[in-house]
Amino acid sequence: MSTPIIAVHRLSKSVTDATGTLGILHDVTFAVAPGETLAIVGASGSGKSTLLSLLAGLDTPTAGTVHLDGTDIFALDEDARAALRARKVGFVFQSFQLLGNLTALENVMLPLELAGRRDARAAARRMLERVGLGERLGHYPRVLSGGEQQRVALARAFVVEPAVLLADEPTGSLDHATGERVMQLMFDLNREHGTTLVLVTHDMHIARRCERRLAIEAGRARELAHGA
């Protein structure tokens, strides 16, 4: 494997409340090469989404490390982690996470404007045209279908050309046919941009389209054999 874009070493996460301590992840170790596609699979409550949050530095571990493009993200303070995410990471969620008071174009422009890009409008327009929404630039999320909203979310994620895209059940709220189209678009964009894709899914059909699959079972990780 080339130098990893993501390197996870002995990552553990537990939470404590009045009833005691609950272990969510235990001693998870793996690495992802630049441009690779990895699916994280497992039953509901297995710790998949927690792992994705830790990879992004949105949550902090009980033990272990995550290196993103060579940087130990938990050696950084919260502001520095946020700045690293803005430079290196894109996100796609099941619930789209679009801002309802912004048009499709404005939603995609937003991360570019926050980064100080002077070509934000033109770049956002090009990316929306790439995902087939050139006729929907001025539409607000409430008048877009679920599939269209997820394509806006994909455009927003890819427009900043992130090194890593983290996707949490991106087709979970879509019907099968729409979900298939969205996933094909995600894999196409992944190849075009050379982005590393880490995808949480319960759908093994989608998972098998990734180069590698990591199963989370009772908080522990094991890599599935090719074709499994």
pLDDT higher than 70, residue 228: no
Q: Is 59 exposed, middle or buried (0-12, 13-18, 19+ CB in 10 A)?
A: middle
Looking at 43-47, 54-58, 64-68, 166-170, which range is the least confident one?
43-47
Residue 109 has pLDDT above 70, yes or no: yes
What band does 95 get if pLDDT is binned at 50, 70 and 90?
confident
As a whole number of angstroms, the distance between CA 209 and CA 192 comes to 16
**What are the boundaries of each domain within the chain?**
6-223
Q: Per the structure block, which two tokens stand in for 118?
A: 């002077």
State the Cα–Cα distance between residues 60 and 222, nearest whole angstrom: 22
Residue 1's pLDDT is: 52
Query: Does the domain spanning 6-223 belong to CATH 1.10.8.60?
Result: no
* Average pLDDT for 74-81: 95
